[in-house]
Amino acid sequence: MPTSTGHRNEKLGTVVSTKMEKTIVVTVSRRVSHPLYRKIVNVRKKFYAHDEEQTAKVGDLVRIQEHPPISKLKRWTLKEVVRRAVQIDVKTGRVLEDEAV
């Protein structure tokens, strides 16, 4: 009989940091109406996600999924890389190949 893990929340965001081992920082932006002034504002929140294979790079669009706590800050895991960011060499200004990144 198959076991159900239940519904796990997913978010779509941009990777802003990969400086830690097996951890990425993902920024999720959403548009909300200000409660008093009714102006639409962008709200950003950072999430720490576990990236076991260290596949995500800065600028990638990724999907993260809720997970039981892994560490003090990590409660999310990387589910998939939706879109890769273009990696550019700072010195030459050329686009790097995927193997070199």
CATH code of the domain in which 57 resides: 2.40.50.140
Q: Is residue 89 part of a domain?
A: no
One digit per residue, pLDDT tens: the chain, 101 residues? Answer: 666 667 899 999 999 999 999 999 999 999 999 999 999 999 999 999 999 999 999 999 999 999 999 999 999 999 999 999 988 888 887 888 765 44
**Cα(51)–Cα(62) distance, rounded to whole angstroms?**
11
Q: What is the pLDDT of residue 77?
A: 98
Q: Is residue 49 part of a domain?
A: yes
Domain count for the chain, please give it.
1
**Using an 8 Å Cβ cutoff, are 54 and 18 in contact?**
yes
Beta strands in the chain (DSSP E): 10-20, 23-33, 40-50, 61-66, 76-83
